[in-house]
Structure 1
């Protein structure tokens, strides 16, 4: 078929917003229960709940939800959550599962194979602040307990909170009695991950850190002895510290302690002699074997019974390998997957993970370490349209001020049914990822394909501060948030225009959360004046003073100390960089999207920003969504947001899109 000639932005595409919504989200928290594989999976069409999925062994059938709606398996610990379930196999009785139900945040026990079984609560409710929350459980049926992280609010403010390791009885006696929850630690650490018990059950290890550190700044590996009655004694610091981020700690089958630390400048894997404190690098490389601990219980490595260790590693996108710690030999997993999520688990010689590639969404993958063969076992990707409509990513390195490298992924327009008129340059959208301590994954994203298949290019920028490229790259953003991220995105946009790859008059910037901040600052900064024709801004940070004064949740309440500097020592930075303080500089049209139940970036900041812009003649639209938090989960919200973004570009870039509702821009 001869492609039809049509201007960029007007191309017709089978990838509509409802298709984007149906494929929004990805499976998480894979685990093994005996020989079974379990994980959580998004359900955008069911109010955004997360289903707990079960795959029985030996070809017993496809995966199925273990719980019907409205059960929603998701934790709110540190607001971004953490591992919300654990399970154990039992001879003759089937699995025992414990999980966190999102609406009430209680911990429940469930025996899926018991006739007439329903989840029964293990923990009580609390009327104080955000209540009681639980994450990263470890089932210990021989003790009749589940050990996990307890987050307990002590007052009405989001920072009135304490976190401890706690033991919850499995008999349900604590369901109405908080006193029956046994605390294992004293609450001296502001943040903790769940305990990892040694193979003999006599020692426990976990991670801890305190304000103002974020976990990628520095964490401590805590080590304790487990007494016969289940107490933790002799708590000591075994590794880590102010200048070393440890992303994960766990035990090998031989009883040695493994951890990923970045003392070398890269998150590498180490074995620790817990008596002498001596560490041994198992595979020293300028690659990341860990990542940012945005959620409690992430797994970048998984020790196997054989003594081998499954690891995620790489510079940029992580891949799955199997490491022989004796020799340092590392064998990577074959297959089409370029992006592995930090959620490894194992069952004997099998490794279970979640992976994606440029032409396939995230799916649950199982690797047989004996044969090296990997196959998809759950959330299998199927192409909803001809994959010729997917973009072909180009991994690029651009250069910014001073010649510094900027990593990015370029997605040029692509549609087999269309070509642009000769001489026309495509519009481009610069996407700033969230975090800002994060990165853009090299995986199929139908939201990106929605735009590229319509003739709009997209470039995802791993600006300075992003993870995946070593600690030095990550720390470029220290006290430079609103400067380096903005400059790097601008440098990529200007380079694409200078190369003749993008229309310099039709550049946009968009982002959510910290990416929303970068987009908003880009509209108000003299460094980018006149560069972007418009911006799409989702659940952003807009007012640094408000954030520093308690306008966000506890986990990130001191994040700005590293991103901006101490507010007491550098109040000028807080004023000079906040978009709210410079709303008078906004001249480009923008779209602002916000969840009304967002505890991370509350909608009050959007209200103040819009009031500051009102009456200045700047075309803009504001869409607020009830029931949505930080990041959108409901299908109807995703549809409205994606279509509104396209409608913005259509108005500003000057092309017609009759397939989406018009966006009313006010001034």
Structure 2
């Protein structure tokens, strides 16, 4: 006989999925690549201080973490980082170069030896940082992006393409680093050399544009002595965003451009497979790869609307054949070797895995970081991709995760509480994959809805541009429209709606709490809260002019920066909230939270402010993630009147004399 289903209030269902289990599965493999015939990638280690290790998959299928703690393979270029490693085979043995997070130096490593530094330490500001290395063993160099501090402020920085000697002669000599470009552009991506080594391509852009606003595709000839000659722009501009460039095996230049309103692929300037789909995305981290050419002339691509599918594009016929398999969403990290393609894919039933596709047979299989079920998958939510109608009849895309637990059901006539999640970016989207932080809630009887509000990627440039000048308006309206629609259709309890977001999503959550009456409470993680301060001098250089497009030119609409900020409307806040902040966050520094809380002083608003030493923008350590998840659940339990005895009670601050 089957197990008896218990009737319990929504939100009080016992779940086998605790916060520690959810935290252990946080993060994903990244930056896959080939070293000879072997596949290597970086992988998170939440239980080891949140470091990222470099994983080697041997030819016999065994995996090895090649760099022990405390080595942390992670770049801090743009603060969000970029591809931190590259490798090749020399004398039948692998040799890799990588960036270590602690000192940001580029190191050389051969298995069996110790990592040796290739670049010096700079005493100025944040020093020297490196990303997107390309190895040129015949030249004895590694070409990459160099981000160099010129002073102590976050804006005191320059970026160039640079060549670093592989012999270590620059380890103590900045002068031995050979600069390849002149620094006239504020931002550059890593160099992509043509197969014959005679040409090199890269992307460049300048303030106040972000890379999804407008970039230039730069091309140069490479002289025999390794200098760049006749540097020119061959595509792109202020209103055209090029996301990636690379070369075919026979030396034809590929790039993705959104000149038609969709990121599509071009070869030597001509469109290949034009569709109203995205074959690219927002360049948040250097080295993101949505396509990779094969020796056969075919091209591995990620494409689609919303979720990204892995496919093989025949550029002569303009046709794409998608890889068969259970994966519903792939991240922009692709690599190819011969006819083999490696990617990172996930699904609503599996966490991100390293997937290999044999293009000759069409067979795809998991070769690394295989998913293992943390609990019975019957406790995983089953997302529903939905489209809602927002103000002015506009479409809003969302993923809805109803409560799901095989042993429990809610009482007749009771509707579940729902948590509306706003993704970060805001130029980003919610992936259609298994997220144990969501399952942590849904298995207890909560519903979750992730909203791809106007401004999200994956739906074309027009959808993305809805947020231009409207941050704090369109995103808030779209999240509220989804929340209210769920309540009106009888899916969610109207009086038990919460809003939750981190980074830019934290902004959306905070604005939602201070300007609407939709939500009973909210969770705000490492947010932007005060636009008047968040910008040049307070945040990092990469996003320091982002508000010029999201809000408007600061010199022209200064009042908008004040009136949109949650910090300016703390007096309107009545809903309880939880604020979570890393103390080492350079993107959304703690001062943002401190200003907000100072303006809330004396108000009778229950809240908690938890800070975490050693955490930056986005939590990486097991103990931090456990504390944050349990605190979030405790907040909802207290506000919604639920009993969750297995979770520590979050102490909410209340002014003296206020009622509990």
TM-score (norm 2): 0.98
| Aligned twin of 2:589 | 602
Alpha-carbon distance in 1 for matches of 2:31, 2:61:
21
Asked whether the equivalents of residues 536 and 545 of structure 2 are also in contact (C-alpha less than 8 Å), the reply is no
2:535–2:543 CA contact under 8 A, matched in 1: no
Q: Secondary structure at the match of 1:548?
A: coil
Q: What displacement does 1:91 show?
A: 3.3
Structure 1 counterpart SS, 2:580: strand
Q: Separation in 2 of the partners of 1:522 and 1:129?
A: 37
Q: Deviations over 1:533-554 (max 9, x none)?
A: 0000000000101013521000
1:315 aligns with 2:305: yes
Take 2:492 and 2:570, find their aligned partners in 1: how far apart are those partners?
Answer: 28
Counterpart of 2:292 in structure 1 is: 302
**1:482–1:521 CA contact under 8 A, matched in 2:** yes
Matching of residue 558 in structure 1 with residue 545 in structure 2 = yes
2:554 is aligned to: 567
Deviation, 1:204, is: 0.0
SS in 1 for 2:543: coil
Tell me, yes or no, if structure 1 residue 329 matches structure 2 residue 319: yes
Residue 124, structure 1, aligned to residue 114, structure 2: no
Partner of 2:241 in structure 1?
A: 245
1:437 counterpart = 2:427: yes
In the alignment, what sits opposite 1:628? 615
Residue in structure 2 matched with residue 511 of structure 1 by the alignment = 501
Equivalence for 1:87: 87
Could you say what secondary structure the match of 2:440 adopts?
A: helix
Structure 2 residue ranges without an equivalent (≥5): 655-660
Partner of 1:459: 449
Report the equivalent of 2:658. none
Deviations 1:2-29 (A, max 9, x none): 2100000000001100001100000000
**Residue 139 (structure 1) aligned to one of 135, 139, 143:** 135
Question: What RMSD in Å do the two structures reach over aligned CA positions?
Answer: 0.6
Equivalent residue number for residue 65 of structure 2? 65
2:99 and 2:556 map into 1 onto residues whose CA distance is 41
Residue 154 of structure 1, CA deviation: 0.4
Question: What residue in structure 1 maps to residue 183 of structure 2?
Answer: 187
2:66, 2:337 → 1: CA distance? 20
Report the CA distance between 1:313 and its aligned residue: 0.2
Distance across 2 between alignment mates of 1:423 and 1:460: 25
In the other structure, the counterpart of 1:450 is 440
The alignment's TM-score, normalised by the length of structure 1, stands at: 0.97
* Equivalent position SS for 2:78: coil
How far has the Cα of 1:267 moved from its partner? 0.1
1:232 alignment counterpart: 228
**Mapping of 1:101-120 within 5 angstroms?**
101-112=100-111, 115=112, 117-120=113-116
How many angstroms apart in 2 are the aligned matches of 1:61 and 1:263? 43
Query: Residue in 1 aligned with 2:657?
Result: none
Alignment equivalent of 2:375, drawn from 363, 367, 385: 385
Aligned position for 1:154? 150
Q: Does 1:260 align with 2:256?
A: yes
Partner of 2:38: 36
- Aligned partners of 1:95, 1:458: CA distance in 2, in Å? 45
Q: Which residue of 2 aligns with 1:542?
A: 529
Does structure 2 retain, via aligned residues, the 8 Å contact 1:339–1:443?
yes
Q: Distance in 1 between matches of 2:603 and 2:70?
A: 45
Unmatched 5+ residue regions in structure 1? 273-278
State the match for 2:11 in structure 1.
Answer: 9
SS at match of 2:386: strand
2:628 aligns with 641
- 8 Å CA contact retained: 1:222, 1:236: yes
Q: Give distance in 1, aligned partners of 2:434 and 2:536.
A: 39
Q: Offset of 1:90 from its aligned partner?
A: 2.1
Displacement of 1:64 in angstroms is: 1.0
Contact persistence 1:647–1:661 (CA under 8 A) = yes
Q: Secondary structure at the match of 1:550?
A: coil
**1:576 is the counterpart of 2:566:** no
Q: Is the 8 A contact 1:149 1:194 kept in 2?
A: yes
**CA distance in structure 2 between the partners assigned to 1:465 and 1:316 by the alignment:** 12
Cα-to-partner distance string for 1:258-316 (whole Å, 9 max, x where unaligned): 000000100000011xxxxxx21110000000000000010000000000000000000
Instruction: Tell me the SS of whatever aligns to 1:658.
Output: coil
Find the partner of 2:412 among 422, 435, 449. 422
1:164 pairs with 160, 169, 181, which one?
Answer: 160
- Structure 2 distance, partners of 1:434, 1:541, is 11
Is the 2:264–2:273 Cα contact (8 Å) retained in structure 1? yes
Tell me, yes or no, if the aligned pair for 2:155 and 2:536 is still in contact at 8 Å: no
Q: In the alignment, is the contact (CA less than 8 A) between 1:548 and 1:567 conserved in 2?
A: no
- Matched with 1:275 is none
Q: Secondary structure at the match of 2:541?
A: coil
Q: Secondary structure at the match of 1:451?
A: helix
Partner residue, 2:605? 618
Stretches of 4+ aligned residues off by more than 4 angstroms: none
Counterpart CA distance in 1 for 2:63 and 2:356 is 14
* Match among 318, 341, 346 for residue 356 of structure 1: 346
Q: Find the partner of 1:211 among 207, 211, 222.
A: 207
Give CA-to-partner distance per residue, 1:77-113, whole Å, 9 cap, x none.
0000000000011233x0110000000000000011x
Counterpart Cα distance in 2 of 1:544 and 1:606: 12
